[in-house]
Amino acid sequence: MQALFVIMRAVSLLNERIGRLVSLLIIPIFAFLIFEIFVRYVSGSPLVWTGEATQLLFGIYAVLSGGYILLHREHVNVDLLFSRLSIRNRAIIDIFTSVLTFLFLGALVYFGSSLAYESIEFWERSQSAWNPPIWPAKLAIPVGAVLLLMQGIVKLIQDILTALDIEMPADLTLHDTAGGEK
Minimum CB distance to other proteins smaller for 3 or for 78: 78
Q: How far is the CB of 24 from other proteins (least distance, A)?
A: 6
Positions 145 through 164 that interact with other proteins (CB under 8 A): none
CA-to-CA separations, 6 to 95, 154, 171, 175, in angstroms, rounded: 22, 11, 11, 19
Q: Is 65 in the site for other proteins (CB under 8 A)?
A: yes
Q: How far is the CB of 176 from other proteins (least distance, A)?
A: 13
- Residue 12 in contact with other proteins, rule: CB under 8 A: no
Binding mask 31-60 for other proteins (x = CB under 8 A): --xx-xx-------------x--xx--xx-
User: Whole-angstrom Cα distance, residue 22 to residue 178?
Assistant: 26
Which window, 3-11, 29-37, 157-165, 168-176, contacts other proteins (CB under 8 A)?
29-37
Q: Is residue 52 within 8 Å of 46, Cβ to Cβ?
A: no
Q: Which is nearer to other proteins, 5 or 163 (CB)?
A: 163
Smallest CA-to-CA distance from 56 within 141, 129, 145, 122 is with 141
Residue by residue, DSSP assigns 47-114 as: -SSHHHHHHHHHHHHHHTTHHHHHHTT-S----TTGGGS-HHHHHHHHHHHHHHHHHHHHHHHHHHHH
Measured from the CB atom, the residue of 9 and 72 that comes closer to other proteins is 72
Per-residue x/- track, 78-117, other proteins (CB under 8 A): xxxxx-------x--xx-xxxxxx-xxx-xx-xxx-xx--
In this structure, the dihedral spanned by the alpha carbons of residues 166, 66, 79 and 172, taken in order and rounded to 10 degrees, is 20
Q: Is residue 130 a contact residue for other proteins (CB under 8 A)?
A: no
